[in-house]
Amino acid sequence: MNDTVHPYSALTPDRVLDALDSIGIRGDGRLLALNSYENRVYQVFRDDAPPVVAKFYRPARWTDDQIGEEHDFVAELAAAEIPVVAPRGVDGRTLHRFDDFRFAVYPRRGGRAPELEQRRTLEHLGRYIARMHSVGARHPFLHRPRLAVENYGEASRDFLLAHDFIPADLLPAWTSVVDAALRTVRDVGATVAPVVFRVHGDCHGGNVLWTDDGPHFVDFDDALMAPAIQDLWMLLSGERASMEAQLAIVLEAYETFRDFDRRELALIEPLRTLRLLHYSAWLARRIDDPAFPAAFPWFNTQRYWQDRILELREQIALMNEPPLQA
């Protein structure tokens, strides 16, 4: 199957149901597409049992070993009674194959978006992320990536340049600001030299389901080796004073279970910079997927790249300011 041209064109509703049928899960014909662009995720209804959630991995993105490490990590977290949604095992396996697709099946878990402006919510998340990190630090990933300037920053820049995404009249300005931003990321990172271990990697409010009993963490698709702050900084929002107040709550709760190296606070803006570059390259890499132009019509316009230049200039200024304090 060619991943570069309509990678999911063959994933029809019938094929989704046939894939589940192949492992003994029979749907009643009703499917609900859930919010996911990188993969395809469906709620599958059944006549004789509760619905399940089926996740079909984007072909060729991860190897079987990398997906296996994701599943094993989530299983470790579940065994440690950390609230995660883990894939269901069928005949001793959590990763299944049908035709050209690999997929996993999850129990359906309800929930709502967390209210990150609430102290209680931030305290819950801080404690659970600390416990998650204690499990993550037990041993490393051997196959999944490490968050680094090379693969999240330089590789993103090089892809965008190699495929001529940047408008010619903006190319000098964009190239200059990207190179300056990456130099600053490297300079700041060299002063910290953080310890890295297995983390969620994409721990923002959209990947937390909140119930009256607290959070459930979902979607470990971007799990990787990274410093602790990678799972904390995306919980922060607003002006500097607001972020520092939120950070104080999160870290106070975090440190009831695990030590945190405060030097990593200097990495918040460099990590945000890498994420911004990686996001542009992610959109560019997926432009042939029919779901992307419809969902992101503003991507690759003149205004889009003008805004990215301004954004990176602001990031350079932020990286040169004193880091947030808790």
Active-site choice (99, 169, 202, 289): 202
**202 belongs to the catalytic site:** yes
Active-site choice (3, 64, 158, 219): 219
Cα–Cα distance, 27 to 16 (Å, whole number): 9
Two structure tokens written together for 289: 């997927």
* C-alpha torsion sign, points 245, 247, 248, 254: positive
Cα–Cα distance, 176 to 312 (Å, whole number): 10
**65 belongs to the catalytic site:** no
The helix/strand/coil state of 187 is helix
CA 285 to chain centre: 16
Helices (H), the chain: 13-21, 64-79, 119-136, 155-162, 171-192, 240-254, 268-285, 291-295, 302-319
CA 143 to chain centre: 17
Which residues have CB under 8 Å from 116's CB, separation 6+? 122, 205, 235, 237, 246
Two structure tokens written together for 84: 């995660």
Cα–Cα distance, 307 to 113 (Å, whole number): 28
Two structure tokens written together for 293: 């132009």
In SS3 terms, 38-61 reads as CCEEEEECCCCCCCEEEEECCCCC
Catalytic center residues: 202, 219
